[in-house]
A and B are shown apart, each in its own frame.
Chain A
Amino acid sequence: MSSPGKPSLPAALVREFEELVRHYPERRAALIPALHRCQEELGGWLSPETLEACAAFFGLAPVEVFGVASFYPMFHLHPAGKHVVGVCHNIACALRGAEEILGAVCRATGAQPGKVSPDGRYTVERVECQGACTAAPMLVLDGVFHENLRPADVERVLAAVPRSPGRLLESLR
C-alpha cells in the first residue's frame, strides 16, 4: 500500500477505516464517511495528497476518489479557513433575513462568500437548506447549528467557537 513517495494515511485513520469497512459488503461504501474523517483530521480540507492516500486505501484510482469528493458540497477541495461558517440562503431562511445574516458574517470575519478571510481564520460559505427551516435564519459554525439568529447575534456566535477543527492528528506520511 505504501510505495515510496506515495502518500498514505496516518495509522490511526487506517485502523479506524478498517473497522468502518466491516459494516459493508464492499469496502468502497466507507469512502464518504472516510473522507469526512480525513477532512476533520487532516487540515480541514481534502488535499490532492489526502485523496491519493484514500484512493490507495480503498484500492481506487485517484480520479475516482476526486470524482466522489467533488460531487459533495461538504468537502473542501481547497484549503479552508480555520473555522468554516456556512449561512443558509435557501427559501425559509431567505424569507427571514438570511442575506442580512450573511452580510453580518462577512463584516465580522472580513471574508467574502466562498472565500477565506485575509487572516486565514474563517471560510464563509453560502449553503443550501440545512433542515433548520422552523428556526430560520441560521448559520453553521464548524458543523454546529446556530438558529433563530438576528444580525446582532453574529459577533457573539463567532466569538464562541467550540473547538478548532482541522487539528492535525498526524500529518500524512
Chain B
Amino acid sequence: MSTAAPSKREVYLLARVGLSDSHTLAVYRAHGGYAALEKVLTGGYTPAQVIQLVKDSGLRGRGGAGFSTGLKWSFMPDPAKDPRPRYLAVNADESEPGTCKDRVLMEKDPHGLVEGILLACFAMRVRTAYVYVRGEYRRSYERMAAAIDEARAAGLVGQKILGADFACDIWMHKGAGAYICGEETGLMESLEGKRGHPRPKPPFPAGSGLWGKPTTVNNVETLSNVPFIVMRGAEWFKSLGTPKSPGNVLVGISGHVERPGVYELPLGIRARTVLEECAGGVWKGRKLKAWIPGGSSTGFLPAAKIDLALDHDSLREAGSMLGTAAMIVLDDTACTVRAMQVIARFYDHESCGQCSQCREGTQWLHQIFARLERGEGRMADIELLSSLANGMAPAKTICALSDAAAIPTHAIVKHFRHELEEHVKLGRCPLAAPHEVRDWVHSEETAEEAHA
C-alpha cells in the first residue's frame, strides 16, 4: 500500500516507514527511537508532568471518538489512594470498514508504538499493558511481538527500565474477529476471555476496567504520537493541524480513486486535497458522486461537500464525524443504495445482540436496503428507515454500534433520497444491469445462509 505524503508538509508518524528494516530496534534507535523514554526516565520528569504535557498538546484519540488523551489519562486514580493493580489496554482491533492505518504503524514502526506504550504507562503508573490486536492482523502481531522481545532484551521492557525505578511489562493478545471488540468495554470483556459484549457505562474504565481494576484504553495511532510530543513539545504539536484538532493524522483513502493509500496529513486538511493530491482523484477519469469521511459509520456525503476540512469540529457541524479519518470514495457510476446495503449488512452481522434496538434495528435496516436495491422497496420504506434510525440512536443502547448503523442511514436519506426514490419508482436499481442485480441477490442469499 502507498504510504507517502506530499513532501512539503511535515511528516513524523510515517517518517521511518520507508526505511528498510524500519521494524527493527537498530533502525528505530538510529533514527531517534527511545530518546523520548530516556528523556522522561533520566530527565527527572514526574508522571503528572507527562500527563500535563499530553494535555497541553491537545492530542485527541485517533480511534474514532476524538477524546482528549491527556484528560483520559488524568482520570486514572492516584495510586497513593487507590493501590489496586492498573492496566493499559492498547486498542489494536482496527476494524471500522475503510480503516487500515494502525496496521501501517504496527507493521512498519512497531517500536514507535512500544515507546508510546511505555510513556503512557509511566504517566499513569501502570505496570502491565496488553496490546489487543485483531486476529486477522497476523503480520502486525508478529512485528509487535518481535519488537517487544527486542525491547525486553535491551532492557526497555521489564524491570528497572533504562536503570530507572520504572517497571513495565507489555503482552500481546490476539482477538478472533469481532468488530465489537474495538469498542473499549467489548475489548475488555474479550481480553478477559469472554464474548465481546460491551459493558454499560458507568462505571468507566478508569475506575473499573479490566478485572474491575483501573484501566485506560488507547488507540495505536494515539500512543504513537506520544514520543514525538515528549521530544518536540506541546507547542510544536499545536503548530500542526487546527487549534481544536492539533497534530497530524493518518488518513486512509479507499474505493474509487487512482491511488488508494494511507497518508499522513495535518488535521483540518481539505478532503479535496486528499482526494486530488494524494489519491490522484477519482479513478478512470470519472466524477465524484459520494464520499465517506471517517469509516463506514460516518455516512455518505455528497460531492458538493468535498471541500470540508477533515477535523472533528468541521465534520460534526456537517452532521458527520472525523471517525478514523478513513475516506471511502464512490464514483458517479456507483449506486449509493447498494453501497449502503453492504454497510448495513456489516452492522447487522456485527451487532452483539445485547440491546434490542441494535439487534433488531440493524437487521431491519439491512433488509430494507436490500429490498430497495432489488427493486422491491416501497416509498414508505424511506420514512421507515428514518424512524428506525431514530429509534436506534443517539445514546439508546449500551454502546455506539447502533449509532454506527443509524448515522449512515440518516445520511443517505438526507443526501441521496432521490436515489432511494428512483429505486422504488423504477422497481429496479437504475445503475445496474438486471443480470447483475440477479447475481447480487443470489450471492446475498448465499451470504445469509452462511451466516445462519
Query: Which residue of chain B is the closest to A125 with respect to CB atoms?
Result: B450
Establish whether residues B138 and A91, one from each chain, have CB atoms under 8 Å apart when the complex forms.
Answer: no
Establish whether residues B137 and A33, one from each chain, have CB atoms under 8 Å apart when the complex forms.
Answer: no
A28: CB under 8 A from chain B?
yes
Given A25-B211, A130-B136, A36–B174 Cβ distance below 8 Å?
yes
Which one of B135, B191, B196, B343 lies within 8 Å of A91 (CB-CB)?
A: B343
| Segment of A3-11, A71-79, A153-161 engaged in the interface with chain B | A71-79
Chain A residues lying within 8 Å of B342, measured Cβ to Cβ, are 89-91, 94
Whole-angstrom distance between the Cβ of A41 and the nearest chain B Cβ = 15
The CB with the most chain A CB atoms within 10 A, among B2, B211, B326, B342, is that of: B342
Restricting to B431-452, which residues have a CB under 8 Å from any CB of A? Answer: 439-440, 443, 446-447, 449-451
Establish whether residues B176 and A32, one from each chain, have CB atoms under 8 Å apart when the complex forms.
Answer: yes
The interface on chain B, measured as residues whose beta carbon lies within 8 A of the other chain's beta carbons, has a size of 61
Establish whether residues A68 and B194, one from each chain, have CB atoms under 8 Å apart when the complex forms.
Answer: yes
Query: Which residue of chain A is the closest to B196 with respect to CB atoms?
Result: A71
Establish whether residues A133 and B252, one from each chain, have CB atoms under 8 Å apart when the complex forms.
Answer: yes
Chain A residues lying within 8 Å of B339, measured Cβ to Cβ, are 91, 94-95
Establish whether residues B176 and A133, one from each chain, have CB atoms under 8 Å apart when the complex forms.
Answer: no
**What separation, in Å, do the CA atoms of A29 and B173 have in the docked complex?**
9
**What separation, in Å, do the CA atoms of A82 and B99 have in the docked complex?**
30
Residues of B contacting A: mostly: mixed
B195: CB under 8 A from chain A?
yes
Chain A residues lying within 8 Å of B446, measured Cβ to Cβ, are 112-114
Establish whether residues B195 and A95, one from each chain, have CB atoms under 8 Å apart when the complex forms.
Answer: no
Q: B67-107 interface mask toward A, CB cutoff 8 Å, 1 = contact, 0 = none?
A: 00000000000000000010000000011111110010000
Q: B330-352 interface mask toward A, CB cutoff 8 Å, 1 = contact, 0 = none?
A: 10001000010011001001101
Chain B residues lying within 8 Å of A25, measured Cβ to Cβ, are 85, 211
| Tally of A-B Cβ pairs under 8 angstroms | 159
A56: CB under 8 A from chain B?
no
Query: Which residue of chain A is the closest to B259 with respect to CB atoms?
Result: A134
Binding site for A on B (CB under 8 A): 1-2, 85, 94-100, 103, 134-139, 171, 173-179, 190-196, 211, 252-256, 260-262, 296, 326, 328, 330, 334, 339, 342-343, 346, 349-350, 352, 439-440, 443, 446-447, 449-451
Chain B residues lying within 8 Å of A73, measured Cβ to Cβ, are 176-178
Establish whether residues A68 and B193, one from each chain, have CB atoms under 8 Å apart when the complex forms.
Answer: yes
Establish whether residues A92 and B136, one from each chain, have CB atoms under 8 Å apart when the complex forms.
Answer: no
Chain A residues lying within 8 Å of B174, measured Cβ to Cβ, are 32-33, 36
Whole-angstrom distance between the Cβ of B418 and the nearest chain A Cβ = 21
Q: A59-95 interface mask toward B, CB cutoff 8 Å, 1 = contact, 0 = none?
A: 0000000011001111100000000000001111011
**What separation, in Å, do the CA atoms of A127 and B447 have in the docked complex?**
10
Establish whether residues B346 and A128, one from each chain, have CB atoms under 8 Å apart when the complex forms.
Answer: yes
**What separation, in Å, do the CA atoms of A109 and B253 have in the docked complex?**
32
Chain B residues lying within 8 Å of A94, measured Cβ to Cβ, are 339, 342
